[in-house]
Structure 1
Amino acid sequence: MDPFNEEGIKMYFFENRLKTFDGWPFDKDCACTPENMARAGFVHTPSDNSPDVATCFFCLKELEGWEPEDDPEKEHKSHSPSCHFIALKKRVEELTTEEFLKLQKEKEKFLVTKTGKEAIALFERAAKQKREEILRMAMGEE
């Protein structure tokens, strides 16, 4: 896990987030235009059955089921109130090096937390499966 990899750092910049919204289902006359989505920190992360999935590059909050009138900034703040990126009071380009490093540290905390939760969920599924196998063996049901 390299906290300063180029791919992760480039998403701090609006233009790079905006480029991800190719094929975004909402455009003109909507509150959730690609520009507003990117401004709110989102990148477009569609799946085969969900073309409107967007994920905050910073806090990793994933939202889908967007409606044309949804305000990306308000939605982001309501679903992820602890996101430091959406709470920024100035543009990334105006941050001091120290401010940027503190921000990046917070971003890494989100990543570690998400990775840890995924690992725990994987372990719990495997443990449940193993428990069922042991119970079947104990009852002679192989």
Structure 2
Amino acid sequence: MNPFEEVYLKMYFYENRLKTFEGWPFNEDCTCTPENMAKAGFIHIPSENSPDTAMCFFCLKELEGWEPDDDPLKEHKSHSSSCHFIALKKKVEELTVEELLTLQKEKHKLMLKKTGNEAIAKFEEAAKLKGANIVKTAMGEE
């Protein structure tokens, strides 16, 4: 996982995030339009069971179950108040190289934390199953 890969860097730009909202279920007469979602840092990552899942490209916070009147920026701030992207005081195009590198360092930390937490959860689930199998074997149930 390289945070400097183009796929990660291009999502800093509004136009690229907006392109991900093809098929987004909320359009005109809604607060959570594709434009507002992209402005708030979200990308659209639909699944078969959840067509309205959006994730902040930066902090990786996923939200689903959107209502037409939900304000994407307010929702983002309430669910991920420490996101460095929504805390930016200037446009991405105005960032210095140093500021961008600092942001990328924070993004990389978040990516590593998410990957680590997912690996730990998988390990813990496998350990539970293995433990249950050991108990069954010891009890002569297999």
Question: Could you tell me the TM-score, scaled by structure 2's length?
Answer: 0.99
Q: Distance in 2 between matches of 1:2 and 1:47?
A: 25
**Structure-2 residue corresponding to 1:102:** 102
Across the aligned residues of Structure 1 and Structure 2, the Cα RMSD in angstroms comes to: 0.5
Q: How does 1:1-142 map to 2 (within 5 A)?
A: 1-142=1-142
Tell me the SS of whatever aligns to 1:22: coil
Moved over 4 A (4+): none
What percentage of residue pairs aligned between the two structures are identical?
Answer: 73
- Count of residues in correspondence between the two structures: 142
Equivalent-residue separation in structure 2 for 1:36 and 1:129 (angstroms): 44
TM-score by length of 1: 0.99
For residues 100 and 51 of structure 1, the distance between their equivalents in structure 2, rounded to whole angstroms, comes to 32
Shift of 1:123: 0.3
1:95 Cα deviation from its structure 2 partner = 0.2
Q: CA deviation at 1:3?
A: 1.6
State the Cα distance separating 1:47 from its structure 2 match: 0.6
Secondary structure class of the residue paired with 1:67: coil
Query: What secondary structure sits across from 1:35 in the alignment?
Result: helix
Distance 2:19 2:70 in 1: 20
**Separation in 1 of the partners of 2:29 and 2:64?**
19
- Please give the secondary structure, in 2, of the residue aligned with 1:93: helix
Aligned AA (1:74): K
Residues of 2 paired with 1:94 and 1:25: CA distance?
32
Structure 2: state its 5+ residue gaps. none
Q: 1:25: how far off?
A: 0.5
